[in-house]
Amino acid sequence: DVKVTQSSRYLVKRTGEKVFLECVQDMDHENMFWYRQDPGLGLRLIYFSYDVKMKEKGDIPEGYSVSREKKERFSLILESASTNQTSMYLCASSLGASGSGADTQYFGPGTRLTVL
């Protein structure tokens, strides 16, 4: 079974703090993704990576950055947390290219971040 783990289930931070969310997958997947999920807005893609040291902006990258130094690990960084970044953050990974079933995404359990 694919296993995607996230460093924290719940996190409380203060406005202006730098926040690191870590994600690790154990299936040698090429692609990794960060989403946030908010009521009424669904899942929105923040950033994704299709290879080590590669990153692509998703639909809402503003206020976030990412790092992928190792294939199994993908970090989401909030440089200066703000209250509107309070959300559920979900990490996912997939094996490979689209159209082959290899783009099926497997999710971690999520981190519920509250910024005060």
Partner 1 sequence: RKEVEQDPGPFNVPEGATVAFNCTYSNSASQSFFWYRQDCRKEPKLLMSVYSSGNEDGRFTAQLNRASQYISLLIRDSKLSDSATYLCVVNRAGTALIFGKGTTLSVSS
Cβ 60 to partner 1 shortest distance, Å? 13
Residues that bind partner 1 (CB under 8 A): 30-31, 33, 35, 40-43, 45, 48, 50, 56, 58, 90, 94, 96-99, 101, 103-110
Closest to partner 1 by CB, 97 vs 116, is 97
Three-class HEC string of the chain:
CCCEEECCCEEEECCCCCEEEEEEECCCCCEEEEEEEECCCEEEEEEEECCCCCCEECCCCCCEEEEEEECCEEEEEECCCCHHHCEEEEEEEECCCCCCCCCCCEECCCEEEEEC
Closest to partner 1 by CB, 48 vs 115, is 48
Cβ 104 to partner 1 shortest distance, Å? 6
Cβ 75 to partner 1 shortest distance, Å? 18
Closest to partner 1 by CB, 85 vs 94, is 94
Cβ 85 to partner 1 shortest distance, Å? 19
Q: CA-CA distance, 78 to 53, in Å (whole number)? A: 18
